[in-house]
C-alpha cells in the first residue's frame, strides 16, 4: 500500500480516484440498483461536475460505467448538478436534474435512457424540449435546484425544487400531467424562516408502524411524511416528521419536530446532500448520503481522491413516531469475515479491553451494553442543548458516573491516537438523557485536520437498562448507529499511527459505575468489488 493511500476506504462506495459529492437518482430498475453521483473526472477538488454512474446487484459490489450526464447542451453547459429518478408506471425511468445554462441560471432538465433494453442503462438522452422548468419571476435563479423524485396524486405528477427567498428556505412545488410541462403551485409545499438555501430536498411517506418502506405516491392515515433538507450554512441534513395535507398540497411538521438548525438530523456528523429511494425488490426505503473529507484540500490532491458515500441505510419511522430509525442495509453483512465474540464481560471503571483478532481498521462492530445501575447518573443541566459542545466538554477521558463507555476505534497501541465512540448517561428531572459522541479530537497526531467532537442526544427510554452501538470502521471513516439506529454519527478521521495492521479496537469505561458488555460481535470486513 502506498503511504499516500492509508486512508482509502475498504468497503465504502468510492470511484478509483477524484472528487465526488452528492448521491443522485438512486433507483432500482429491472433487478439492478443504479447509483449516480456528482463527480469531477479531472481532479480531487469540486469542479467540472458530471453524473458518474455505477450499477450493482446488492449495493455493496459496484461496477462503474461511463458518466450518464455531462455538460453538452445550452441548458446544462455550465454544469449537471443534482437530481433524482422516477420510475414511471410504464416501467420507464426518467431523471430530473439541475442544469446550469450559459448565464449560470439553474434550470431543471430531464433525461431518459437511450435504450431500455440495455440492462445497465448506459446511455442517457437529453431531449431537445429541455429545460422543463425555468426559474420564473421572483425566483432566485442562483438558488433553484435539486429536483426530487416525483409522486403521482389526483391526475398530476408533483415534485419539489429547493430554493430560498432571502433567508427563508423554500421547497417549491411543481405539477405536471405528462412530466414535460410543469407548472409551479401557488404555494410552496413548505418553507421556513432563517434556514437559508434548501439544497437537495427529499419528501416521502413512512408507515406509522413497521420497517417496510413505501412508494412515493402513498398517502393516507396509516402514514406520516418526512421532509429532509440540506442546509448549506451548517452543512447538515435536517428532517421533520409531519403530515402531508394532500388536498391542499401542503406539508405540516408535527409539533415534536422543528424546522431548521435545532431540528433532527439523519446524522450528527459528516453526512450531506442525502437522498432516499424506494426499493421495490425488498420493500424498503434506502438512504444514501455523501461523506466529505475533513482533511485539507492539499491532502486531497496528494491522495488523488476526495469524498465517499456512507453505507446505504434502511430508514423507517421509530415506533415513538417522533423520529426516524436507520440501519445499514443487510447486504453489508455479506462482507463479514473473521469474527470475535464476547458475552457478559465486565468493564470496570477506568478499563479498556482490546477486541483482538480482527482487522480493526476495516471492521463492523455490534455491541449491547447493559448498565447495572442508573442510580448515580450525573445530573443533567438543561442549558446543555448543544450535544457537540457537551461532548467537547465531557470527552471520553472526563470521568463520569454512568459512562463515558463505548469503543475506542482506530486506536494506536499506546493510545496516542483514537476515535472514541461512546455513551454518557445523565439524570434529568424526570428522565435520563443519553448522549452519543464520536469524538475526532484525539483521532490523529496530524495538524490542520477538522477534528470535531460530533455528538447527538439519543431519545431512548432506558427501562431495560441497555444501550446498543453498531460501528462501521473503514480506515478513515467511522459510522456509528446508537440504540438500534436512533442516533447516527459519521466521522472522518486520518490517523497517522493507527493505520492498517497497526490499528486497534478497544471497549472502555470511564464511569465509576461498572458496565456489562452483554454481547459484542466484531467482524473483519472484506473488500467488495468497488468500481474497478
Ligand atoms: N451539490 C450540487 C448541487 C447541490 C449541492 C452541485 C449540494 O446541486 O445543491 O454539485 O451538495
What tens digit of pLDDT does each residue of 372-423 get?
999 999 999 999 999 999 999 999 999 999 999 999 999 999 999 999 999 9
Residue nearest to atom 9 of ligand 1 (CA): 199
The model's confidence at residue 2, banded by pLDDT at 50, 70 and 90, is: low
Indicate the top mutation candidate among 18, 273, 291 to test ligand 1's pocket, ranked by most ligand atoms within 8 A of CB. Answer: 273
pLDDT digits (tens, 9 = 90+) for 43-55: 999 999 999 999 9
Query: pTM higher than 0.90, yes or no?
Result: yes
Comma-separated ranges of CATH 2.60.120.560 domains in the chain: 336-525
CA of 364 to the centre of ligand 1 (A): 30
Q: Are strands 405-411 and 504-509 parallel, antiparallel or unpaired?
A: antiparallel
The model's confidence at residue 209, banded by pLDDT at 50, 70 and 90, is: very high
Alpha-carbon distance of 251 to 242, in angstroms, equals 7
Q: Which top CATH class is 336-525?
A: mainly beta
Q: For residue 66, which of 122, 124, 125, 21 has the smallest C-alpha distance?
A: 122
Q: Which residue is it, cell 458518466?
A: 67
CA of 518 to the centre of ligand 1 (A): 43
Are 424 and 404 contacting, i.e. CB atoms less than 8 angstroms apart? Answer: yes
Comma-separated ranges of CATH 2.115.10.20 domains in the chain: 15-330
Indicate the top mutation candidate among 18, 20, 21 to test ligand 1's pocket, ranked by most ligand atoms within 8 A of CB. Answer: 21
Which of 22, 101, 267, 299 is catalytic? The answer is 22
pLDDT of 1 > 60? The answer is no
pLDDT digits (tens, 9 = 90+) for 293-338: 999 999 999 999 999 999 999 999 999 999 999 999 999 999 999 9
Are 44 and 19 contacting, i.e. CB atoms less than 8 angstroms apart? Answer: yes
Q: Which fold has domain 15-330?
A: Tachylectin-2; Chain A (2.115.10)
Residue 22 is a catalytic residue: yes
Q: What is the mean pLDDT of the chain?
A: 97
CA of 305 to the centre of ligand 1 (A): 18
Cis peptide before 131 (omega within 30 of 0): yes
Pocket residues for ligand 1 (CB within 6 Å)?
21-22, 38, 49, 81-82, 98, 145-146, 199-200, 230, 273
**pLDDT, position 503:** 98
Show Cβ contacts of residue 47 under 8 Å, excluding neighbours closer than 6 positions: 19, 40
Alpha-carbon distance of 420 to 442, in angstroms, equals 8
pLDDT of 3 > 70? The answer is no
Ranges of beta strands (E only) in 428-514 are: 432-439, 453-458, 466-474, 477-482, 487-492, 504-509
Are 168 and 198 contacting, i.e. CB atoms less than 8 angstroms apart? Answer: no
CA of 352 to the centre of ligand 1 (A): 42
Amino acid at each position: 500500500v502506498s503511504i499516500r493511500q492509508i486512508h482509502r476506504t475498504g468497503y465504502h462506495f468510492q470511484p478509483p480516484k477524484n472528487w465526488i459529492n452528492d448521491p443522485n437518482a438512486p433507483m432500482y430498475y429491472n433487478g439492478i440498483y443504479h447509483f449516480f453521483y456528482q463527480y469531477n473526472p479531472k481532479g480531487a477538488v469540486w469542479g467540472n461536475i458530471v453524473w458518474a454512474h455505477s450499477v450493482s446487484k446488492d449495493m455493496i459490489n459496484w461496477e462503474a460505467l461511463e458518466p450518464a450526464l455531462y455538460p453538452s447542451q445550452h441548458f446544462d453547459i455550465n454544469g449537471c448538478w443534482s437530481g433524482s429518478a422516477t420510475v414511471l408506471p410504464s416501467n420507464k425511468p426518467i431523471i430530473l436534474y439541475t442544469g446550469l445554462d450559459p448565464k449560470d441560471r439553474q434550470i431543471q432538465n430531464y433525461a431518459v435512457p437511450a435504450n431500455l433494453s440495455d440492462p445497465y442503462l448506459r446511455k442517457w438522452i437529453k431531449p431537445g424540449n429541455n429545460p422543463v422548468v425555468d426559474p420564473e419571476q421572483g425566483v432566485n435563479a442562483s438558488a433553484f435546484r435539486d429536483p426530487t423524485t416525483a409522486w403521482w396524486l389526483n391526475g398530476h405528477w408533483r415534485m419539489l425544487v429547493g430554493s430560498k427567498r432571502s433567508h427563508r428556505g423554500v421547497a417549491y412545488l411543481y405539477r405536471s400531467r405528462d412530466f414535460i410541462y410543469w407548472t409551479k403551485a401557488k404555494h410552496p409545499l413548505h418553507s421556513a424562516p432563517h434556514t437559508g438555501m434548501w439544497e437537495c430536498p427529499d419528501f416521502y411517506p413512512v408507515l406509522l408502524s413497521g420497517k417496510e418502506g413505501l412508494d412515493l405516491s402513498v398517502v393516507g392515515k396509516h402514514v406520516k411524511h418526512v421532509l429532509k433538507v440540506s442546509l448549506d450554512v451548517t452543512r447538515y441534513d435536517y428532517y421533520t416528521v409531519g403530515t402531508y395535507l394532500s388536498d391542499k398540497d401542503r406539508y405540516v411538521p408535527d409539533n415534536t419536530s422543528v424546522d431548521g438548525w435545532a431540528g433532527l438530523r439523519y446524522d450528527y456528523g459528516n453526512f450531506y446532500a442525502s437522498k432516499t429511494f424506494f426499493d421495490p425488490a425488498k420493500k424498503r426505503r434506502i438512504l444514501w448520503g455523501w461523506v466529505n473529507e475533513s482533511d485539507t484540500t492539499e491532502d486531497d490532491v496528494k491522495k488523488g481522491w476526495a469524498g465517499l458515500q456512507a453505507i446505504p441505510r434502511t430508514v423507517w419511522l421509530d415506533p415513538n413516531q417522533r423520529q426516524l430509525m436507520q440501519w445499514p442495509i443487510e447486504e453489508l453483512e455479506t462482507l463479514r469475515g473473521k469474527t470475535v465474540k464476547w458475552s457478559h464481560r465486565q468493564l470496570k471503571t477506568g478499563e479498556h479491553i482490546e477486541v483482538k483478532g480482527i482487522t480493526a481498521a476495516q471492521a463492523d462492530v455490534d455491541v449491547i451494553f447493559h448498565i447495572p445501575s442508573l442510580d448515580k447518573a450525573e445530573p443533567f443541566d438543561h442549558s446543555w442543548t448543544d450535544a457537540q459542545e457537551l461532548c467537547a466538554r465531557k470527552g471520553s477521558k472526563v470521568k463520569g458516573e454512568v459512562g463515558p463507555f463505548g469503543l475506542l476505534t482506530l486506536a494506536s497501541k499506546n493510545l496516542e491516537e483514537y476515535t472514541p465512540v461512546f455513551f454518557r448517561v445523565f439524570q434529568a428531572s424526570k428522565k435520563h438523557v443519553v448522549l452519543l459522541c464520536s469524538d475526532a479530537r484525539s483521532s490523529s497526531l496530524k495538524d490542520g485536520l477538522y477534528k470535531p467532537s460530533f455528538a447527538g442526544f439519543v431519545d431512548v427510554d432506558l427501562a431495560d437498562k441497555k444501550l446498543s452501538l453498531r460501528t462501521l470502521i473503514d480506515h478513515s471513516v467511522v459510522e456509528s448507529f446508537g440504540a438500534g439506529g436512533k442516533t447516527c454519527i459519521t466521522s472522518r478521521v486520518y490517523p497517522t499511527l493507527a493505520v492498517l495492521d497497526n490499528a486497534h479496537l478497544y471497549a472502555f469505561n470511564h464511569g465509576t459505575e461498572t458496565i456489562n458488555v452483554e454481547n459484542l460481535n466484531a467482524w473483519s470486513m472484506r473488500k467488495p468489488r468497488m468500481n474497478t
